[in-house]
């Protein structure tokens, strides 16, 4: 299937799902420039769990239920995410990741002073629903929440959807952050998604609108990343990465 880059940008979630079934060629001005196709995940022995740490956890050849995810994580000190029926064990982040997280977190905190929106950082579970089925459970690196008080449960957990989410790529999470989480956040009501890439020293900012990607900009070295959603929320790329 041949699809224009504009159509891909506006309906990324739709074509991400189609790519699992057939190869999609992305064109610009009628010329093929890229290819979107299914990628086999790096897995442990069982399809139910995707490796992001050295220690495996097996589900005997099947996806895991939400109840199994809860049983696994209830008394565990490890960090896990649950996305579309698969459990992801989160590896300990490296120095470049944490440097970017602390830098962005400080800028987000300073920006939020005197505003109703608050920044929060991982580890912090966020439950997102594609439908009324089982929730997805993620731990974004950084997020901005503008309705915290309205969506606090009795046991002090946030039950809403963050307005803005930031993920910082690492070797173990980059495919998940670039594809699975982008589609998840787009589908579940997140309004803006930042992907900070320590490898290329870039920050991509996606503004989600009407179920698709309304606008996107990738900021490179020497430039300053800027939010579409929040006026004055910026981050100089050169200062974010170590």
**Residue ranges per domain, the chain?**
2-36, 49-89, 95-240
C-alpha distances in Å from residue 87, one per residue of 46, 47, 49, 69, 176: 11, 10, 5, 7, 12
For domain 95-240, the CATH architecture is: Alpha-Beta Complex (3.90)
The alpha carbon of residue 99 and the mean position of all alpha carbons in its chain are separated, in whole angstroms, by 18
Instruction: Give CA–CA dist 226/189, Å, rounded.
Output: 20
Residue 118 has pLDDT above 60, yes or no: yes
The per-residue pLDDT for range 35-62, each reduced to its tens digit, is 666 554 443 334 444 444 433 444 434 5
What pTM value is reported for the model?
Answer: 0.77
* Phi and psi torsions of 90, nearest 5°: -85, 125
110 close to 133: Cβ distance less than 8 angstroms: no
The per-residue pLDDT for range 206-239, each reduced to its tens digit, is 999 998 999 999 999 999 999 999 999 999 999 9
């Amino acid at each position: 299937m041949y699809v224009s880059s504009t159509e891909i940008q506006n309906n990324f979630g739709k074509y991400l799902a189609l790519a699992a079934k057939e190869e999609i060629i992305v064109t610009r001005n009628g010329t093929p420039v890229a290819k979107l196709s299914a990628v086999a995940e790096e897995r442990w022995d069982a399809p139910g769990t995707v490796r992001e740490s050295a220690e495996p956890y097996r589900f005997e050849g099947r996806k895991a239920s939400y109840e199994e995810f809860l049983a696994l994580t209830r008394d565990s000190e490890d960090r896990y995410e649950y996305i579309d029926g698969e459990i992801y064990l989160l590896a300990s982040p490296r120095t470049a990741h944490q440097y970017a997280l602390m830098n962005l977190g400080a800028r987000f905190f300073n920006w939020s002073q005197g505003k109703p929106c608050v920044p929060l950082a991982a580890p912090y579970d966020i439950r997102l629903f594609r439908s009324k089925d089982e929730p997805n459970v993620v731990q974004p690196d950084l997020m901005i929440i503008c309705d915290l008080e309205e969506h606090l449960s009795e046991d002090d957990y946030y039950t809403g959807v963050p307005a803005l989410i930031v993920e910082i790529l690492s070797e173990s999470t980059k495919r998940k952050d670039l594809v699975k989480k982008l589609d998840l956040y787009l589908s579940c009501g997140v309004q803006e998604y930042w992907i900070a890439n320590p490898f290329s020293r870039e920050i991509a900012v996606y503004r989600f609108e009407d179920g698709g990607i309304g606008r996107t900009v990738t900021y490179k070295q020497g430039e300053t990343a800027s939010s579409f959603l929040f006026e004055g929320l910026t981050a100089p790329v050169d200062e974010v990465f170590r």
